[in-house]
A = this chain, B = another copy of it.
Amino acid sequence: MKAGLEQCAGLVQACFDAVLAPMGDLPVVAGMRYASRGGKRLRAFLVMESAALHGIDPVQSVWAATAVEALHAYSLVHDDLPCMDDDDLRRGMPTVHVKWDEATAVLVGDALQTMAFEVLARDECAPDPARRIALVASLARASGAQGMVLGQAQDIAAESAAAPLDLFQITELQNNKTGALIEWSAKAGPLLAGADPSAMGAYARALGLAFQIHDDVLDVTGDAALTGKAVGKDAEAGKATFVSLLGLEGAKSRAAALVEDACDALSPYGTRADALRDVARFVISRQT
């Protein structure tokens, strides 16, 4: 599975390089290259592995994988801005607005979002335009003001709320902020093949929540040198997290139970889905 993640990361990087090569060397394009490098490529792996399970060649699925990583990269660049989370470090490196400036960071995020849709619209992504437009429509729904951006807005609203969020509210917030894009990634395979995406959807919803619970665990137990970003920020800000609501051990066992649910949801695929089960277990064992 580790090898699979690395192979996928290599293919996605080559696709980014190919898309960005003709765009020249202005700071906005240099910033796009910088912001799209590295990371675990978890979303790309979900796209390519769910696609492989449905008989889609990596040469094709790498385009949808690159699209979702471009979209994810845009969200990180804007999230890190001084007016948002105000983070100086990302993956152990200076964030885009620190390395360049805020105006460049705004434009880098804007252009990475556009790139996600541009890549999905290419012939290489799927020969059938109906499949491509289905991917565009679902990615827009997952990432806009009814998906990821809604989650970010709920996160901002929570900061000035009278009371910390309860478990229901924080689950909904995280489902929007992180879960929707993870779900899109796992459903991209069946969507590319014109197959039923419901089993992949159930897998991804459980996985996405486990992922976010483990992120809250890492914010308490993590090592900034390993995670490459500041830790303890949420507790310091007095924000409700899965750890503040469930306790450290409660959060860990909830994440483990969700990973079991995620693995069970893959039963229609039998052992062919073992790489996706491995990645679910990896998500709650990772130190970064």
Contacts and interface: CB of A to CB of B under 8 A. Distances in A.
A26 interface: yes
A152 interface: yes
Interface in A86-141: 101-104, 106-107, 109-111, 113-115, 117-118, 120-122, 129-130, 132-133, 136-137, 140-141
B144 A121 contact: no
Count this chain's copies in the assembly: 2
B83 A101 contact: yes
Size class of A's contact patch? 35 or more
A121 B120 CA distance: 12
A18 interface: no
A118 B143 CA distance: 10
B107 A149 contact: yes
Given A28-B153, A113-B110, A153-B26, A118 B132 contact: no
A121 B103 contact: no
A253 interface: no
Contacts of A104: 153, 156
A32 interface: yes
A103 B83 contact: yes
Interface string A8-47: 0000000000000011001111001000000000000000
A145 interface: yes
Closest CB pairs A-B (n = 10): A114-B144, A118-B140, A83-B102, A121-B137, A111-B145, A28-B153, A129-B130, A129-B133, A111-B149, A121-B136
A92 to B, nearest CB: 24
B146 A23 contact: yes
A27 B153 contact: yes
B137 A78 contact: no
Contacts of A111: 144-145, 149
A152 B107 contact: yes
